Amino acid sequence: MCDTCGCQLNPEHAQDSRVVEINRSLLAANQELAEKNRSHMEQMGAVAINLISSPGAGKTTLLEKTIEALGERYRIGVIEGDIETERDAERIRAKGVPAVQLTTGGACHLDAALVHKGIHQLQHQLADKRLDLIFIENVGNLVCPATFYLGEHKRVVMVSVPEGSDKPAKYPRAFIGSDLFIITKTDLLPYFDFSIEEASGAAKALNPKIETICLSAPTGDGMDEWMKFLAGLVNR
Ligand code: MG
């Protein structure tokens, strides 16, 4: 699967010069389409956020709680990415906002072409074609999604407490390219050997501009910081 999923798109890791050239052109084509995505989303009035994490870090739960808190104030749309199933889009629709499910059929990341389709599908669900916020929930994976720009305005990387505080150091690219680091499931801190200082310090060492928010979506602890971040984007 790695031949097609993007794992080898990092030119410094490819050995064959032809592979390097193909990878460069694939990434260039992705970049070009991502710029179009960004322009489409801006024409809709929306700020787009690309959420990246391992499977099970709590991306969909965070979105559900975000919609509960902000769904009346902002027009929110969601593009869901998964390998299979419509489950996450159904969870989001149950909260009363438009959602599109993209299934990659095996690929471990979203790319700009797939998101382009998702934007148009989302537009079809909107009477006035206007949104304030578009969340793009990437396929659960801390590796390949980091390589593919989708046209988002902000990229958010998440790690949950049970995953361990060594993840920023082990998966640097996801943190180097992100604007915000969210540590989720902080209600589980008493039960796991997780150091917020280690995780946030490693992220900051990789990317001095990255900020860290610690929260528990189910309990609501720390959610106010996330809401402030979102309000700052919408009210630019
Ligand atoms: Mg999900």
- Structural domain spans, the chain: 14-234
53-64 mean pLDDT:
98
Q: How far is the CA of 16 from the centre of ligand 1 (A)?
A: 36
pLDDT of 24 reads: 87
How far apart are the CA of 154 and the centre of ligand 1, in A?
Answer: 18
Average pLDDT rounded to a whole number, residues 164-190: 98
| Closest to 186 (Cα-Cα) out of 143, 156, 225 | 225
H or E segment and range at residue 61:
helix 59-70
Distance from the CA of 94 to the center of ligand 1, in angstroms? 14
pLDDT over threshold 80, residue 3: no
For domain 14-234, the question of CATH label 3.40.50.300 is answered with yes
Confidence label for 17 from pLDDT (cuts 50, 70 and 90):
confident
Question: How far are the Cα atoms of 35, 112, 148, 150, 226 from residue 32, in angstroms, in the given order?
Answer: 5, 9, 11, 10, 30
Q: What is the pLDDT of residue 21?
A: 86
Q: What DSSP string runs through 163-202?
A: G-TTHHHHSHHHHHT-SEEEEE-GGGGGGS---HHHHHHH
Task: Output 141 or 19, whichever has higher pLDDT.
Answer: 141
Residue 145 reports pLDDT greater than 60: yes
Q: How many Å lie between the centroid of ligand 1 and the Cα of residue 62?
A: 9
Q: What contacts 46, CB < 8 A, 6 or more positions away?
A: 77, 130, 131, 132, 133, 134
Does residue 4 surpass a pLDDT of 70?
no
Average pLDDT, the chain: 94
**Greater pLDDT, 135 or 24:** 135
Residue 2 has pLDDT above 60, yes or no: no
Q: 208 C-alpha to center of ligand 1: Å?
A: 28
Q: How far is the CA of 183 from the centre of ligand 1 (A)?
A: 16
CA distance readout (Å), 91 to 20, 48, 95, 96, 203 = 40, 20, 7, 9, 31
- Residue 63 Cα, ligand 1 centroid: separation in angstroms? 9
Backbone phi and psi for residue 79, each to the nearest 5 degrees, phi listed first: -110, 120
Q: How far is the CA of 72 from the centre of ligand 1 (A)?
A: 22
pLDDT bucket at 14, cuts 50 / 70 / 90? low
* pLDDT at residue 11, as a whole number: 54
CB neighbours of residue 158 within 10 Å? 25
In whole angstroms, what is the distance from residue 41 CA to residue 47 CA?
Answer: 7
Predicted local distance difference test score (pLDDT) of residue 15: 65
pLDDT given for residue 235 in this prediction: 79
CA of 92 to the centre of ligand 1 (A): 10
Arithmetic mean of pLDDT, 137-149: 96
User: Look-up: residue for tokens 């260039």?
Assistant: 28
Q: How far is the CA of 166 from the centre of ligand 1 (A)?
A: 22
54-81 as b/e: b if 16+ CB within 10 A? beebbbbbbbbbbbebbeeebbbbbbbb
The pLDDT value given to residue 9? 57
- Ligand 1 mean position, distance from CA 235 (Å): 27
Measured in angstroms, how far is the CA atom of residue 110 from the centroid of ligand 1? 13
What distance in angstroms lies between residue 134's CA and the mean position of ligand 1's atoms?
Answer: 15
Residue 10 confidence (pLDDT) above 90: no
> How many Å lie between the centroid of ligand 1 and the Cα of residue 60?
4
Distance CA 157, CA 53 (A): 6
Query: pLDDT value at position 16?
Result: 77
CA–centroid distance, residue 173 to ligand 1 (Å): 21
Q: What is the predicted pLDDT for the residue at 1?
A: 41
> Do 78 and 60 touch, CB atoms closer than 8 A?
no
- The pLDDT of 37-53, averaged and rounded, is 98
Distance 88 CA to ligand 1 centre (A): 6
